[in-house]
Every structure is written in structure tokens, then in C-alpha cells.
Chain A
């Protein structure tokens, strides 16, 4: 496969350099076309996110293509090539496909399994298509990359369970309450820390939202933001019994809610469960409150512990995902080969049929005394001989596409019968070359 990827990511380059090389804000179409205008370059696509800048390309001459792309990238961003070079990675052929599949499946992401990258990749592909810089190589490869990513997502736990504090809080709330539709949320303190978690919680179509803060104005501002109601700070304990979920984050607030207070609240609530999320340091809620029946108290360390466990699960899932990707790449190659087998089968059939028809015609020409029935019988005889003879070789050829050694048979048939079928599409040439160049690498 004459396919290559050249780029840098959070793994190889500091953020300053990634920023400078970012293509995001420019007119992508003209950049892409400029890339395909480079000699030998046939297709190009740019994936530019905050964690990576990568150019995917198809080129007739891989080493040369890489060198030119590299120069182009540096020049475009007005950087010295040697400044960029140490941070760049280059993959060709199968390695490049492997990289693409891993990126699509979010295995190469900073946060393992994060879902955005697939969308960004699809967008990049769409951009390349609309700029007419996507050709047969991309059109065969990209859908397979998306399919591999989908499989990884469905068959492994890579994208399951929260890996951020705010999502972990929502997920735990769901484990306690199931649906959150009629659950009331109380937000105590209005620090920056709290805001994100509060936004995720209130984004779940909860019931009433109560907000309190030492400065009432700030509480009111937040309440407006979350479509809730501001409560004076001095009175908030009175409202506790109405809240199913309480989020506290009052910095330097010290202990605001004691265990005895909560025991009374739970009694008033007739034991309806409460989920308390205390992300303040020092903590706002007495840690002993967790021992009360039907009270679930999580502080910031607890939430981080949950996230850590979830991340560990994702890393475990990633191992399985790597296997899936290997399988998908194998499948991709065997699919490519099966594409090659089809024109060969057609050509072989055509050739044999031609021979049969002309030879039968010749013979029948000399046997004029036969009546129409006899002629039909001879015609049928030759047909069935040919079909019987061809049956086995043709089925081997059909299977050759799935077989690693399939190419051998195709080559054998090509030579034995002196066949030279036209590929179905001119693009086929481009893809076909890949088999030889997949070992290529660039230093």
C-alpha cells in the first residue's frame, strides 16, 4: 500500500510546537491541494487536533513523498525543517494503516478511549473528499478504519465508564438513583472546580436545582446559569432534606455539614438515599457521614480512585483492542486481494469460453450432416466439459482472496494462461503496488 502518515502528537512534540504546526484555522482545501500538487503525491488528508497534527497521504514514491511533505509542512508554517524533524514520526504501508486504525479507535489518544477523535477523523476525510484530494486509496481505507474503530468501541470496554471527576459523579449518581429526572440537586459553593461538575449533573434533566454561596450575587449568577434557585448561605442546611444530590466545593469553608445534621436530614427524608459529592479541600462534609445508612459520601480522592479504576479497565480493554486492529488489518488486506481475484476469474472464463466457441464452431462446420438436435448436444457437451474443468480452479481463485498465499495462485494462473486482466478501476493500480512497498521505511 503506497500509503503514508507523517505527523507529530502529544507523545513526540511539546504543545508550543503543536500549536505552531496546527492547520486548523487555515483554508484547508487549498493546503490539501497544494500537498497533492507535490510531485508523486496523489492523495492527502490533514488531521489537526489539539493533541496531534498528522498528514495522511498516498504517494507513488514513498521516501520522496515523505521528504517533500516534511519540507512543505515546515515551510508552510515558516519553521526550519530541522526544528520540526526530530518531533516527526513517519509510517508507511502497513505501519501507516496500523497507525490510522489505532488513531481512529482512540488507542493513540491522550485519554484512552475518548470519543472525539473518530469524529475529527471523519471530518478530516470529508474535507479531503470535498477538496478532491481523496482518491481510491483513501476511499478504500477510511471506511475500514471507521469500521475498525466501531468494532473496538462495541467489543471492548475502551470507552466505558467515566474518566473525569464530573462524569464519574454523574455515573455514580445513576448507580444510586437510576434515572435522575426527578432528583433535586443542591450546589454549595460556586468555585470553578464545582462548575463543571454542576454543569454535567444539571445537564441530566434533573429536578430542582438549588444554589448557595457566601456571596449571594455569585449564587444568583450560577443559579441563572443552571436554571435553578439561589438560597441564602446561612439557610442552606434547612434545604438539605430536599436535595437528593449535594455538591459542595466551598474553598476555605471548612466543615459545613456534620454527621448529626445529616442523620436528622435522612430521618426527615424517610430514608430516601442521598448522594453527597464533596470536592472541596479541606472537606465541607464530615467524612463520617458515609457511615449513615442511605448516605453515600464521595470526596475528591474517592472520585479520583473511581477514575483510576476505570482507567485501569480501559487500559486492559486496550490490549484486546490491539488484537482487533490486527485482525481488521488482515481482513483489509485479504479484502484487497479478493478485489484482485475477480478480474482474473473473469478473464480466465472469457479466454476459455472463446476457445470453446471457436473450436466447436470449427468442428460443427465440418459435420454438416448433423441435424439441429445433434448440434445442440455437441454444444452442450463442450459447455459441460469446460465448466467441469474450470470448476475447481475457479473456486480456488475465489478463495485466494482470503488466503495469505492467495497471490501465488493468482500469479500462477496469470502465467499458465497468459492472462493480463484489466483492473476494474485505475485506482486498483495504486492500491496494488502496496504489497511490495509495505516494507518500506524512512529513517
Chain B
């Protein structure tokens, strides 16, 4: 086992423990456990970064090519985004929903081949990491928006049904969750747009065409339109609350499909290696 895989496994363990603690926090109202969970999440995040750095040093390529590396980076970005947002907005409860999401990605990532493969020569360019990093950072921010959306729907339902519970009181207010939806949108949308643009530039370098309507490009465009519609709706029409939450969730499902489903179900330029990558 190489050092990067060892670090990856340790990270996985840290995220798993953090998930358990965060869930115990909201289920049994033990904020102390939640705090320890976040410390674990921070250390997991640090180990995760080290894992990726060591992988980069070992291969000489940014670790963003194989499916394993993509999943790992996605999980890293989600945890990082959550931790940053938590520093700014104090959204402890969200951790109990974000950590399991990252954990699932990590487990998936450890189930697929962890072998290091150099990207094929046409893809060896600095546009690759730039494109992939931007795309995944956007995805991570949208993941947070989707989690906030789920919590919004949950809480809205409780308020409408007039059923309160201890979970109800632990959730942030509707306003806070809706603001989070908006913030994520205004950060995620530019990232996603830049991700698509850099992808097009890179495609031009690698394949000689900016846009070739391969399935991943098509689905990314569909997702982009959905987020564009949501952003427009929020700014111009006054969409908010439930509608915005539902759209953020649909958007994230589309994103996941663009990331994973396209590779697994459809074939195209983006599924370069057998492992399925960006």
C-alpha cells in the first residue's frame, strides 16, 4: 500500500467517525459530539489534502484523471466547502448531512481501482486540472445547496404540518437555509460556467473542437441551464423558499448524473479510459 492510499483510507475512517458523531449530535442532542465530529472532519480534510499531494508527487500528474481520483477530489471539495461555510455562517447541523455524502463518495472511490494511470497524451495539459478543479468546486458548492434544500423542505414540512420535534429545533431557520441556497448559487454558478469554458478551451487543444456535443457536454449544458434558470428566477421573479430548494436538489441530481451516470451509462469523448473519467 502506497502512502497516498494509506492516507486515503485514514481519511475515509475520519470521515466515517465524523459522520457518526454528527448524526449522534442531532439525534441525541449532544453538541459536544458534534464539535468533536467537526474536529475529525478538519483532520480528515488535512489528511485528504496530504493524500492528494503525495499522489501528485508520486506520479507527477495532478491526481484528477481516474474515477477514483475524481471521486476523492469531489469528496474533498464538498468537505472543504462545508468547513469554509461553517466558519462563516455557523451551520453545524449541516455537517450531519454533508459528511455522509462525502463518505459515500469516498467509499465508492475506494471500491474502484486506485491504480495510478497517466492521462492519455492528448489530455496532458494544464487545462485539464484547471477545468476539472473548477467543475468540481462548482459541483461541491451545489452539493451544499442541495443539502440546504433538503433541510429546507424537511423544516418547511414540519412547520406546515405543525409537528415539532427535537430535530426541528436543531435545524437552522428557513431564512438561513434559503440564504444559503442563494449564496451557493452565486458562487457555484460562476465556477460551473468557468469550468465549462475552460473545458471547451481544453477540448479545442486536445481534439481540435470547442464543443462536440458528446453526452457529458450535453448534460453539463442542461444542468447549466437549470441553474441559470434558478438564478434568474431568484433575482428577477422572486422565486425562493420551496421552489428554489426543489430546483437546487434537481440540479444536484443532474450534476451527479453528468458526473457519474454519463460515464457509466453513455459513451463519448469524456470516457477516455476504461475507468471512466472526466
Interface residues of A, Cβ cutoff 8 Å to B = 157, 160-161, 172, 174-179, 270-273, 290, 293-294, 296, 298, 302, 305-306, 309-310, 313
A270 touches B238 (CB 8 A): yes
| Assembly CA distance A273 to B177 (angstroms) | 13
B183 at the interface (CB under 8 A from A): no
Stretch at the interface among B119-127, B135-143, B161-169: B161-169
22 A–B contacts, CB within 8 A, in A order: A157-B166, A160-B169, A172-B159, A175-B155, A175-B174, A176-B173, A178-B172, A178-B176, A270-B238, A271-B238, A271-B239, A271-B240, A272-B238, A294-B241, A294-B242, A296-B160, A302-B162, A306-B164, A309-B163, A309-B164, A309-B165, A310-B164
Cβ of A293: which chain B residues have Cβ within 8 Å of it? 241-243
- Hey, which chain B residues are within 8 Å of A310, CB to CB? 164
Closest beta carbon of chain A to B9's beta carbon, Å: 36
Query: Whole-angstrom distance from the CB of A173 to the nearest CB of chain B?
Result: 9
Q: Which residues of B contact A309 (CB under 8 A)?
A: 163-165
Instruction: Evaluate contact between A177 and B175: CB separation under 8 angstroms.
Output: yes
Cβ–Cβ < 8 Å partners of B175 in chain A: 176-179, 273
Complex formed: what's the CA distance from A78 to B177 in Å? 63
User: B241 — nearest CB in chain A belongs to which residue?
Assistant: A294
Quote the shortest CB–CB distance from B47 to chain A (angstroms). 33
Docked complex Cα distance between A288 and B10 (Å): 54
B29 contacts the other chain (Cβ, under 8 Å)? yes
Partner of A176, one of B159, B239, B240: B159
Contacts of B174 in A (CB 8 A): 175-178, 273
Complex alpha-carbon distance, A298 and B158, angstroms: 12
When C-beta atoms are compared, the residue in chain B nearest to A156 turns out to be B29
How many residues on B have C-beta within 8 angstroms of the other chain's C-beta atoms?
24
Chain A residues with Cβ under 8 A from B242's Cβ?
Answer: 293-294
Give the docked Cα–Cα distance between A157 and B241 (Å).
30
Residues on the B chain within 8 Å of A273, using CB: 174-175, 241
Chain B residues near A306: list those with CB within 8 A: 162, 164
Question: Nearest chain-B residue to A270 (Cβ)?
Answer: B238
Contact (Cβ within 8 A) A290 B160: yes
User: Closest chain A residue to B165 by CB distance?
Assistant: A309
A272–B237 CA distance with the chains assembled, in angstroms = 12
- Distance of B242 from chain A, by nearest CB (Å): 6
Q: Which 9 A-B pairs have the closest CB atoms?
A: A270-B238, A178-B173, A178-B175, A302-B162, A178-B176, A271-B238, A177-B175, A176-B174, A309-B164
The main secondary structure of chain B at its interface with chain A is helix
Bound state CA distance, A270 and B175, in angstroms? 14
CB distance from B1 to the nearest CB of A (A): 43
- B 262-277 contacts with A by CB, 8 A: none
Task: Note all chain A residues with C-beta closer than 8 A to B169.
Answer: 160-161, 175
A157 to B238 CA separation, bound complex (whole angstroms): 38
Most chain A CB neighbours (cut-off 10 Å) among B171, B173, B175: B175
Chain B residues closer than 8 Å to A160, beta-carbon distance: 169
| Contact between B168 and A175, CB atoms less than 8 A apart | yes
| B38 smallest CB distance to A (angstroms) | 20
Closest CB in chain A relative to B151 CB, distance in Å: 12
Of all chain A residues, the one with the shortest Cβ separation from B179 is A178
Bound CA–CA A161/B171 (angstroms): 14
What would 20 more interface pairs be, CB under 8 Å, given A175-B174, A176-B175? Answer: A160-B169, A172-B159, A175-B155, A175-B169, A176-B174, A177-B173, A177-B175, A178-B172, A178-B174, A271-B238, A271-B239, A271-B243, A272-B238, A273-B241, A290-B160, A294-B241, A302-B162, A309-B164, A309-B165, A313-B166
Docked complex Cα distance between A161 and B241 (Å): 25
Closest-by-CB residue of B relative to A161 is: B169
Max chain A CB contacts within 10 Å: which of B165, B169, B176? B169
Please tell me which one of the listed residues A161, A175, A178, A313 contacts residue B159 in the complex, with CB atoms under 8 A apart: A175
- Chain A's nearest CB lies how many Å from the CB of B220? 29
Q: Are A298 and B173 in contact (CB under 8 A)?
A: no
- Please give, as numbers and ranges, the residues of chain A lying within 8 Å of B173 by CB-CB distance: 174-178
> Who on chain A is nearest to B158 by CB?
A175
With A160-B169, A273-B174 known to touch, is A305 a contact of B162 (CB < 8 Å)?
Answer: yes
What separation, in Å, do the CA atoms of A270 and B164 have in the docked complex? 27
Inter-chain CA distance A294–B173, complex, in Å, is: 13
Contacts of A290 in B (CB 8 A): 160
Query: How many angstroms between the C-alpha atoms of A272 and B171 in the bound complex?
Result: 20
What residue in chain B is nearest A267 (Cβ atoms)?
B238
**A-chain residues with CB within 8 Å of residue B176 when the two chains form the complex:** 178
A-contact bits for B219-241, CB 8 A (1 contact / 0 none) = 00000000000000000011111
In the bound complex, CA of A302 to CA of B162 (Å): 7
Minimum CB–CB distance for A359 against chain B, Å: 56
Q: Chain A's nearest CB lies how many Å from the CB of B245?
A: 11
> Most A CB atoms within 10 A — which of B155, B159, B162, B168?
B162
Instruction: Report chain A residues within 8 Å CB of B160.
Output: 290, 296
For the complex, what is the distance from the CA of A177 to the CA of B166, rounded to whole Å? 19
The CA of A309 and the CA of B241, in the complex, are separated in Å by: 26
Q: Which of A175, A179, A271, A290 has the most CB atoms of chain B within a 10 A radius of its CB?
A: A175
Separation of A179 and B159 alpha carbons in the complex (Å): 17
Q: B241 to chain A: which residues have CB within 8 Å?
A: 271, 273, 293-294
- Could you tell me if B240 and A296 are in contact, using CB atoms closer than 8 angstroms? no
Query: In the docked arrangement, what's the CA distance between A216 and B174, Å?
Result: 35
Q: Bound complex: CA of A28 vs CA of B126, how far in Å?
A: 84
A177–B173 Cα distance when bound, in Å, is 6
**Chain A neighbourhood of B29, CB < 8 A:** 157
